[in-house]
Structure 1
């Protein structure tokens, strides 16, 4: 029996907060470069999600706008 659905979800932003607390002194230059690239990919993913949500919001605002 799998009880993964019963495990509490991590709080929103918990992963970002954990990244901010991580000791970067332990990383090599190459590892920091890889980390930066990974963060850039995540930023781009967030920006795409934000653009999609903004587009949906704009469409909804236009649909439900009752101004003449």
Structure 2
């Protein structure tokens, strides 16, 4: 899968800018910090997905789909 297929098409989108950022000037410590921040964002996104799925399941159960 190509990154262009999954990234938003707007050029100023923060995610697009993030993945295109040059990592060469960053130190090892800065890279570790970047990874920690990205892992926290992944956990936040996964939590949101879980809440959405649970909400949908609750609604389906309520209306007995």
Distance 1:22 1:29 in 2: 16
1:65 to 2:64 alignment: yes
1:23 to 2:10 alignment: no
- Size of the aligned set, in residue pairs, is 54
Higher-Rg member (1/2): 1
Distance 2:25 2:61 in 1: 51
Runs of 5+ in structure 1 lacking a partner?
1-10
Distance 1:31 1:50 in 2: 29
- Give the superposition deviation at 1:15: 1.7
1:40 to 2:39 alignment: yes
Find the residue that maps to 1:25 and give its secondary structure.
coil
Distance 1:62 1:23 in 2: 48
TM-score normalised according to structure 2 size = 0.73
